[in-house]
Structure 1
Amino acid sequence: MWKLCTILIYIFLTFLALLCITFALSVAYISAVIFLPTYFPTQIHKFSRTWDIEASLDLNDPSVKLSPWGLPYDSECGGIRMVFLDMDCMEPARKCQELIEEYEKEYGKTKKEKEEFLNIAKYCFDASKDPLIKNHAYSQGKLCFLSFANQFCDVEIVDYLENYYEFFLEFAMSPSIDDCGVFEKFEALGCKDSMDFFQKSKESLEMGNQTQKDYEIMGFECREVQNRIQNLTNPCGIPQEFQMKMNEFCEKMNFFSSPFWKCVQRMKSENIQPDLLLYPHFIGLQFGDDTDSCTIFREDSVKNIMIEYCGSEVIDGFEKEKSYLLKMWNCI
Structure 2
Amino acid sequence: MHSRSSRVRMGVLTAAAVVTAAGGLVVTGNALAGTDATTTAAACGAFFDDFIYSSTADAAFTAHRWRTRGYAGGPGVPGATWSAANVSFTDVDGQRVAQLRGSTDGTAAGTTQAEFYQTERRFFEGTYAARIKLSDTPVSGPDGDHVNQTFFAMGPVQRFDYDPLYSELDFTEYLPNGGWGTAGPTNYQTSYNGFRADPWDPYNASDAQDGSLAGWHTIVGQAVDGRVTYFVDGVRVAEHTVDYKDGSRSVFPRVEMGLNFNLWFIDLAGHSGGRATYQEHVDWVYYADEEAVSPAELEARTAAYRSAGTARADTLGSC
**Normalization by structure 2: what TM-score?**
0.16
More RCO (CA 8 Å, sep 6+)? 2
Bigger proportion of residues as strand: 2
* Greater Rg by CA: 1
Bigger proportion of residues as helix: 1
